[in-house]
């Protein structure tokens, strides 16, 4: 005698992700376009929303959404807090779009509203494709290496600009692309060349380097012996280019990286790091006299310089604009500097453009990225994955703090890389969570299961 259930053929569980490699490839292409092509070059008819990276990010989002229709795409059907955070952010952008359409808009504001919707869609797609598509440690490590390699390339370009005053815009000619705004990759400050490389502004470039630095540190610390020198050279190059931006935001990012990452190392590694920091400072002082003094002066005069004064005036100005549409804002992408004013604080800009609801969604996105990365570190027993999670948490923190120091979401390279980093946070959480042994439920059935020979 046998039960009918004993003759049923058990279906094989579907794979977690039948084709994860395309997600890694798509993300790599996006990061290449994001970091190596100047963001001022756009596909002419599309305007500010037509950067190659932005257009490709929208394609990525469409590919991600189509994956939901595939019956075997089970990876993106697993519970994922970052996905919920991105959905909330997208809903807040749509709500601000609707709120913006309820008032009288200029042509420039209507264009900004449409542009903001497209750009936000690309950000969400770039984060989700990494979070849900790059679901193995080897694939995530491959993507990390590529992103750091791209970052090292622009860091090298920045160092070259610092010493030679090379203006990249004079030499780049990309068929099919045109400059959306006049562009110069070298600026001046206190007799130094303030570098921007392929970024729109030195502050943006400094934040980008700060986002990349912990990812480069992870690769150097866990590099195989034959690649160790190369990986540490990448770290040194990124770290050397960072102060050449002559930006308080960039230096604050470097400090945050050191505070978050270095304490997790062994005592021997920490001692080496302190010696290395000191040696790095001495070399920079000898090689570039006056640079470190200029940077220290930025912090010594932080309460008196014009930059700080303008930032303090931002709060009173923002209050008036915010009170007009407090809940859903004036519309994401409509607070244009040429129509209103520049606010060097993205949190204030978000309050004005997206209201309280939108501001909460932005905080939730960065908070979720931080929590997931830290949670992944606690869940995993793998030293390499634990260290990567801590480095990703550092990158997320750099991005979150930079929102308070300038209008970072208005700069395509920096904003795009922030969402890439949040995608990394979701990916490390998925990998760590899947490696945790799951308790096998105990059957409560009293019926015997008879087998046949």
Q: Which two tokens stand for residue 227?
A: 């690649």
SS (H, E, C) the chain: CCCHHHHCCCCCCCCCCCCCHHHHHHHHHHHHHHHHCCCCEEEHHHHHHCCHHHHHHHHHHHHHHHHCCCCCCCHHHCCCHHHHHHHHHHHHHHHHHHHHCCCCCCHHHHHHHHHHHHHHHHHHHHHHHHHHHCCCHHHHHHHHHHHHHHHHHHHHHHHHHHHHCCCHHHCCCCCCEEECCCCCCEEEECCEEEECCCCCCHHHHHHHHHHHHHHHHHHHHCCCHHHHHHHHHHHHHHHHHCHHHCCHHHHHHHHHHHHHHHHHCCHHHHHHHHHHHHHHHHHHHHHCCCHHHHHHHHHHCCCCCHHHHHHHHHHHHHHHHHHHCCCCCCCCCCCCCCCCCCCCCHHHHHHHHHHHHHHHHHHHHHHHHHHHHHHHHHHCCCHHHHHHHHHHHHHHHHHHHHCCCCCHHHCHHHHHHHHHHHHHHHHHHHHHHHHCCCCCCCCCCCCCCCCCC
Alpha carbons 77 and 376: distance in angstroms, whole number:
19
pLDDT of residue 316: 74
pLDDT of residue 443: 45
User: Could you tell me which residues are beta bridge partners of residue 188?
Assistant: 193
Q: Which two tokens stand for residue 163?
A: 């010493």
Alpha carbons 97 and 54: distance in angstroms, whole number:
19
Q: Which two tokens stand for residue 77?
A: 């059907």
- Using only C-alpha atoms, the chain has a radius of gyration, in whole angstroms, of 24
Alpha carbons 304 and 300: distance in angstroms, whole number:
9
Q: Which two tokens stand for residue 168?
A: 């990249």
pLDDT of residue 272: 92
Q: Are 356 and 326 in contact (CB under 8 A)?
A: yes
Residue in 266, 364, 435, 337 with CA at minimum distance from that of residue 109 = 337
Residue in 279, 298, 301, 281 with CA at minimum distance from that of residue 289 = 281
Alpha carbons 84 and 86: distance in angstroms, whole number:
5
pLDDT of residue 313: 67
Residue in 365, 352, 348, 240 with CA at minimum distance from that of residue 291 = 240
Backbone φ and ψ for 324, nearest 5 degrees, come out as -70, -40
* 453 residues of the chain, pLDDT tens digit each: 443 443 344 444 444 443 446 899 999 999 999 999 987 888 876 667 788 999 999 999 999 988 877 656 545 557 789 999 999 999 999 999 999 998 888 898 998 899 999 999 999 999 999 999 998 999 999 999 999 999 999 999 999 999 988 777 667 777 778 777 766 666 666 678 888 888 988 999 999 999 999 999 999 999 999 999 999 999 999 999 999 998 999 999 999 999 999 999 999 999 999 998 899 889 888 888 888 888 887 777 766 666 666 666 667 778 888 888 899 999 999 998 888 888 888 999 999 999 999 999 999 999 999 999 999 999 999 999 999 999 999 999 999 999 999 899 999 999 999 999 999 999 999 999 887 765 544 444 444 433 433
End-to-end, the C-alpha distance of the chain in Å comes to 12
Q: Are 126 and 419 in contact (CB under 8 A)?
A: yes
Give the residue carrying structure tokens 């949040």: 422
Alpha carbons 28 and 141: distance in angstroms, whole number:
12
Backbone φ and ψ for 405, nearest 5 degrees, come out as -110, -20
């Amino acid at each position: 005698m046998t039960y009918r259930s004993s003759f049923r053929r058990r279906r094989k569980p579907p794979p977690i992700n039948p084709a994860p490699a395309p997600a890694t490839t798509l993300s790599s292409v996006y990061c290449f376009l994001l970091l190596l092509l100047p963001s001022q070059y756009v596909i002419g008819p599309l305007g500010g929303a037509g950067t190659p990276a932005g257009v490709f990010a929208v394609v990525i989002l469409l590919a991600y959404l189509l994956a939901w229709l595939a019956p075997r795409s089970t990876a993106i059907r697993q519970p994922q807090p970052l996905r919920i955070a991105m959905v909330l952010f997208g809903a807040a952008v749509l709500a601000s779009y609707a709120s913006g359409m309820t008032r009288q808009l200029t042509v420039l504001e209507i264009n900004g509203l449409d542009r903001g919707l497209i750009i936000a869609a690309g950000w969400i797609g770039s984060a989700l494709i990494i979070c849900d598509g790059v679901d193995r440690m080897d694939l995530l490590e491959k993507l990390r290496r590529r992103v750091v390699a791209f970052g090292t390339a622009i860091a090298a370009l920045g160092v070259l600009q610092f010493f030679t005053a090379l203006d990249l815009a004079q030499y780049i000619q990309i068929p099919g692309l045109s400059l959306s705004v006049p562009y110069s990759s070298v600026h001046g400050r206190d007799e130094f060349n303030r570098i921007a490389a392929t970024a729109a502004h030195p502050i943006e470039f400094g934040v980008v380097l700060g986002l990349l630095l912990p990812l480069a540190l992870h690769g150097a610390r866990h590099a195989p012996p034959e690649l160790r020198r190369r990986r540490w050279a990448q770290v040194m190059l990124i770290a050397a280019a960072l102060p050449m931006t002559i930006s308080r935001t960039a230096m604050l990012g470097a400090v945050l990286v050191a505070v978050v990452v270095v304490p997790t190392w062994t005592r021997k590694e920490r001692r080496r790091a302190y010696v290395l920091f000191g040696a790095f400072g001495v070399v920079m002082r000898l090689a570039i006299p006056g640079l470190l003094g200029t940077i220290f002066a930025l912090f010594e005069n932080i309460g008196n310089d014009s930059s700080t004064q303008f930032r303090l005036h931002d709060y009173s100005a923002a209050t008036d604009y915010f009170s007009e549409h407090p809940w859903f804002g004036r519309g994401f992408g409509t607070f244009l500097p040429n129509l209103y004013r520049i606010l060097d604080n993205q949190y204030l800009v978000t309050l004005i453009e997206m209201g309280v609801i939108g501001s909460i969604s932005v905080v939730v996105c960065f908070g979720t990225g931080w929590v997931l990365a830290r949670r992944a570190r606690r869940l995993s027993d793998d030293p390499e994955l634990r260290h990567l999670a801590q480095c990703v948490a550092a990158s997320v923190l750099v991005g979150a703090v930079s929102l308070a120091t300038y209008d970072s979401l208005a700069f395509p390279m920096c904003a795009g890389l922030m969402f890439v980093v949040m995608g990394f946070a979701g990916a490390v959480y998925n990998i760590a969570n899947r490696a945790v042994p799951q308790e096998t439920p105990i059957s409560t059935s009293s019926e015997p299961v008879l087998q046949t020979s």
